Every structure is written in C-alpha cells, then in structure tokens.
Amino acid sequence: MKITLFFLVILFSISSKLSLAYPNYIGHGYTSCLNCHYNPFGNGPLNDYGRAVSATLISARWAYPKTWTEEDLAEKSGTLFRKPKQDWFRTQFNYRRFRLTRNPGSAKNETELWLTMQADARAIIKFGENDKFTSVVNYGYAPAPLSQVSGVSNKDSWRSREHYIGYKINPKVGVYAGLMDKVYGVRLVEHIAFSRSLPQVTMNDQAHGIAVHYLNDKWEGGINGFLGNLSQEENLRMKGGSTMVERTIGDIHRIGASYMSSRNKFYSLQSYSMHTRLNLKDGASIIAEIGEVQKDIESTQSTIKSRYGLLQTYLRPARGFYVLNNIEYAKADTSDENYIVRWGPAIQIFPAQRIELRGDIYNTRVFGPETSVPDNWTLLLQTHLWL
Amino acid sequence: MNKVFLIIAFTLLSSCQNFNSNSADESRFSESPIPASGSNDPNDPAYQSYVKLVKSYNIIKTRCFQCHSQWQNLNSNQKWIDSGLVFKNNPESSSLINRLKNFDPPGDMPSGANSAIPNDDYLTLVDWIESMP
C-alpha cells in the first residue's frame, strides 16, 4: 500500500452532522463519555458538567473580559447562558451547517453545496442523586444523505434521533431503554467515517433496544440488545445485539474491542473491531480503530467481507484550538483488490463557548490493479452552534 | 408521580424514519424486476439489448442501489432515459456514467467506502448506453 502523505491544510472533517461524542477528549483526561454526556456511551446532550467543561477547558476565552473567572464562564454554560433554576429539567439546541466543495480550485470541476446538517431540540428530565433517573428526547432535522440528493430521492425529514429512559442501579451499573445509538466501536463525530458506515452505526442508524452500562476503575463496557428502528419497515430492521468493552491503561489511556451481530430479512451482519484512545497530554490524543464486517446474503447465499481502519491524531496548540489529522482505510469487498485511502487534515476552533468552527480538506484515493482513478478532493467548512 | 408520567410521555415521542443504512436493502438484495425478453435468439438485436440491460441493471443494483434505491423501478431502457440519468447513445453526457469515479474527470460515485467500480463493469455500462436501440 502506497500512501503519499503530504499537504498541510486547514479546514475540517467529513461531516460532523451530529453532536456525537468527542472521544479525543481523552487527551484532557476524560476516559469515559459518562463524565460529560447523559448517554454513558457518548453522543447526545451534554450534562451540566459537560457544558461547563466545554465552556472552560475546551473553548478559548479570547472573547471574554479578563476579570471573568473560569467559574463565571461555567455558570454561563447553561441553556441561553442562564444557570438552571431547578435540578430536574434541561433543554438544549444544536445547529450545524457546512459548505462542501468538491474539487476545490478547479475552474472546470469545482462544485459547491451548502447543507444544514443538524437543527436539534433536546429535552432532558432527570432526578435522583447523581441523575439516577434520566429521560432524554432529541428531535431534529435529518437531511437526506448526499448520495441521495440527486434524482427521485428520499427527502429531508424531521425525526427523533433518540428517546430513552435511563436508570442507574448503582454508581457502576446503569440500564437504558429506548431509541439509542448501537453500542459499538468509537463514536466519532465524523459519522461517515468508514469505521461508522461499514458496521452500520452512522448518524441515522439508531435502534430501539436496551443497553446496560458498566464502569469501574479499570473497565468500562456495555451490552446492547436491539430490535431495529421501530418506525422503519419491519423487514428492514436490523435486530440483534452488540457489546463494547474498554480497559484503562496507565490511568489515562484506553484499549477496547467491540462485537455486533444483527440481521434483517435480507442478510445477517457480523462485525468486530479493536480500538485504542491514547492521551498525549494537554489535549492531544490519538484514536485508532480496525475492524471487519461480514454480510451473509440470503437471496444469493453469498458473503461479502469488508475491512476498515482509522487513525486520528489531535494536537492542541492553544486552548480552543485543535489541529487534527484523519487517515482512513477501507476495503469494501475483500475479494476485490481495490481499496480506498482517505486522508483529511483539519483545524477545529472553539473561539467562545457554544461556537465550533471547523475546516477539513480530505483526499480520497482508490488503489487497485485495474483502476486508474484520479484523486478526489473535498473541502468542508463547518459552523456548529449550541444554546 | 407527575415526573414519571412526563418521562413516559417524552420517551414515547417518535417520528418517521425514511433512510438509514438499511433503507435500500430490499432493492439491493431481492430479485431483478426486469421483464423477460420475448426472444432467446443471441443474434436477435432485441435479445442482445435485453442482455445488456440485465447486465447493466445488475451492476447498478450491486454498486448503486444502497443509496439510490429509487432506481430499482427503472427496469427498461426507456425508463432510464426518462429518468434523465441516461442519454441514449451518449455515455459521456449520462450522469450515470460521468458521476462515476472511473470517469475522467472523476466523479464522486460510488460514495463513501466504495471504490471505483471494476473496469469491466464500467465498460459494460458504457457499451449498454452507446448501443441502446
């Protein structure tokens, strides 16, 4: 495999369509998603602590008077900049829009597209010590996938992204029931990463089910049984189960593994992966994942195997400023000699709390003995606001 | 107790789901809907055209239906032409061809982890459009 690594660029990653988790914050010492999210596996609304972290540790403070303390910033991290007046109800609003440019700089082939990727309203009800009971509803805008925009196509829609009840049996064990993301792999913000699309755990793949979460000093993991999305046609729903387990190494790093087995009327899918998240200190981190997916198709009695790999590096030159690099590998069919390498350097800036600006440029190259395909370049600029 | 009712009401909220990774499974993994040809004579141009349509349809089914499930209804040459995706006898002007990564300049399809389609498949599609009766 030849990978030409060059080009230093500026701008953002493939499509942070959703407010997924930011697993790179292990670089700040946050090994578990539970610290900042109501969903212990990441994604979805931030809890009060997570909002305070985003306002202080993550975001720059260039825009604020020097007399404001970190405590002042944290107090203003609530919805509409207000400190909540009660403990049991929270709301959040998220908005993302990006500009996608294909073949940037090409007078002949450059195309540009503006997309609203997310406009979500979220409500959280919680009570009990340490949010023992929670109920989360996330309702919002779901744009039709880019690949389906042309021609007679699915339309944009408004849908419930997730709605579930959670109950913490004790500080180590929680049970969650409802519509949630499947428990599998690293929940990257780049939802179309091959490590998300090939195992079918993208921004649109939530399923109704039950998940059990476990956390102790060294281990964190979960088991998820699911029935597919019950609002989808019955024969398309992927029913099955998945599990993910992570082990803390040296107090600050994680290694983990995942397995998922599911089926619908047309095929069964088995997927397994290994991953690691490494804390390089001061906000810097490395995330890596490799995996394999196998589809056994009923009608043809045939099998398709796919493999994928991911390596992400995050550096944090200054507070509120991240520089990242994303390298992905995918072989959609292992019996085919072709494979894809996608490389995407990016910058991510949080100039003030509730604002994220990100720019990626990524290069996609197809390798194979039979194909001679020119590289594909894409530029993405993103604005993400939350209240 | 009111809070419990509120929680239950919240969690029952839902909405329609019109696409995810499985939306096109039925069109991708079920049988071809192309009507059978009236002729089985390999020298009959109508039969040759039918074979090319079936071959091309199966390539598109394998490579494209995952995202473009709406194309499964295009089971005749005329329907492909009417869809605007195919220009009869002119593959270079057909977006079905010029959006492919195989085309020069390269398009963006198939998207995501899917690489350019095999060259044989690409040539089959080009030949099908070029020779449409």
Please check the confidence at residue A341 and state whether its pLDDT lies above 60: yes
Residues 6 or more apart in contact with residue A218 via CB below 8 angstroms: A247, A248
A:95-114 residues touching chain B, CB 8 A cutoff: 102-103, 106, 108-109
Tell me the shortest Cα–Cα distance from A44 to chain B, in angstroms: 15
Q: What is the mean pLDDT of residues A264-290?
A: 96
In this predicted structure, what is the pLDDT of residue B74?
87
> What region, left, alpha or beta, does residue B57 occupy, with left being phi > 0 and alpha being psi -120 to 50 degrees?
alpha
pLDDT given at position B6: 61
From chain B, the residues in CB contact with A266 under 8 A are: 25-26, 28-30
Six-digit token string for A109: 């082939």
Does residue B89 carry a pLDDT above 80?
Answer: yes
* Rounded distance between C-alpha atoms, residue A348 and residue A356, angstroms: 7
| Interval A104-146: pLDDT, tens | 988 877 889 898 888 999 999 999 988 999 999 998 887 876 6
pLDDT of res. A356 = 96
Which tokens go with A14?
Answer: 């493939």
Average pLDDT, chain B: 80
Question: Residues A181, A200: contact at Cβ < 8 Å?
Answer: no
Q: How many CB atoms lie within 10 A of CB A317?
A: 12
Interface test with B, best of A18, A175, A232 (most B CBs within 10 A): A232
Given A160, A238, A330, which is nearest B113 (Cβ)?
A330
Is residue A26 within 8 Å of A278, Cβ to Cβ? yes
User: What is the mean predicted confidence (pLDDT) over A174-182?
Assistant: 96
* Residues of A in Cβ contact (< 8 Å) with B15: 139, 157-160, 231
Q: What is the pLDDT of residues A180-223, one digit of tens each?
A: 999 999 999 887 799 999 999 988 899 999 999 999 999 999 99
Give how far Cα A58 sits from Cα of A41, A50, A273, A313, A355, Å: 20, 10, 29, 17, 11
- Per domain, the residue ranges of chain A are 23-149+156-386
Local confidence band at B26 (pLDDT 50, 70, 90 cut-offs)? confident
Instruction: Indicate the DSSP class of residue A152.
Output: S
Residue of B nearest to A198 (CA): B113
Question: What number of other Cβ atoms are within 10 A of residue A149's Cβ?
Answer: 15
- Binned at pLDDT 50, 70 and 90, residue B101 comes out as confident
A285-332 confidence digits (pLDDT tens): 999 999 999 999 887 788 989 999 999 999 999 999 999 999 999 998
CB atoms within 10 A of CB A299: 12
The whole-number pLDDT of residue A150 equals: 39
Does A90 reach chain B within 8 Å, measured CB to CB?
no
Q: What region, left, alpha or beta, does residue A137 occupy, with left being phi > 0 and alpha being psi -120 to 50 degrees?
A: beta
The domain limits of chain B are 21-31+40-130
CA–CA dist B78, A198 (Å, integer): 34
Nearest alpha-carbon partner for A19 in A35, A38, A43, A52: A43
The answer to whether the CB of A184 falls within 8 A of the CB of A260 is yes
Q: Which of A249-253, A367-371, B93-97 has the lowest mean pLDDT?
A: A367-371
Q: Which two tokens stand for residue A323?
A: 């520089």
* Residue A175 amino acid letter: V
Rounded CA separation A214/A96 (Å): 32
Angstrom distance (rounded) from CA B42 to CA A185: 52
Mean pLDDT across A223-242: 94
Res. A13: pLDDT tops 50: no
pLDDT for res A12: 30
Q: Name the residue among A152, A120, A149 with its Cα closest to residue A137.
A: A120
Contact A148 B85 (CB under 8 A): no
Tokens 């600006």 identify what position? A357
A338 touches chain B (CB under 8 A): yes
pLDDT confidence band for A154 (50 / 70 / 90): low
Side chain identity, residue A54: S
Which residues of chain B lie closer than 8 angstroms to A306, CB-CB?
A: 113
The C-alpha atoms of residue A317 and residue A333 are separated, in whole angstroms, by: 39
CB-CB: which of B15, B22, B70 is closest to A152? B70
The domain defined by A23-149+156-386 folds into Porin (2.40.160)
- Rounded Cα–Cα distance for residues A106 and B105 (Å): 11
Nearest to A259 by CA among A245, A277, A276: A245
What does the DSSP assignment read for A324-359? EEEEEEEES-TTSS-EEEEEEEEEEE--STTEEEEE
Per-residue pLDDT band at A7 (split at 50, 70, 90) = very low
**Nearest alpha carbon to residue A339 among A234, A198, A230:** A198
How much is the pLDDT for A233? 87
Q: How far is B40 from chain A (nearest CA, A)?
A: 24
Find chain B residues with C-beta within 8 A of A298's C-beta: 29
- What percent of chain B is modeled with pLDDT above 90? 20
Two tokens, residue A232: 């989808």
Q: At residue B17, what is the residue type?
A: Q
